[in-house]
Amino acid sequence: MSSPRLEAFLARLYADEEFRERFLAAPEAATEMLGLTPEERAALATIDLTGLELAARVFARKLNYKAEQRRRQDWRTRWRRWRRDWLARLRRARVASGDFADP
């Protein structure tokens, strides 16, 4: 029952709000458009709509959380690189001036 087309359809259904609204308005048209088998279309016709909306909201929240984590990590990464480069410049300047020898 689980085909790559069906899995792609479900992923798009969870992730794409506009597509989900089109599916809820006309399920037959949305499933025919992607070339799903009659068995897959029948299974999607009986999908739990409340569960679908809940799962879509949870999925969207997870995506937003992960994007925020990546953004924060990017900030930390940039700061660490700046600090590393600053310390390297400081070390080179001190070695050049003879303040201390680099081991």
- 63-99: pLDDT as tens digits: 889 888 888 878 888 899 999 999 999 999 988 887 7
**Rounded distance between C-alpha atoms, residue 37 and residue 22, angstroms:** 19
Domain boundaries, the chain: 4-73
What 3-state DSSP class applies to 88?
A: helix
pTM: 0.58
Percent of the chain at pLDDT > 90 equals 23
Among candidate residues 5, 96, 25, 20, the one with its CA nearest the CA of residue 56: 20
State how far the alpha carbon of 1 is from the alpha carbons of 27, 31, 92, 102, in Å: 18, 15, 64, 65
- Residue 58 confidence (pLDDT): 92
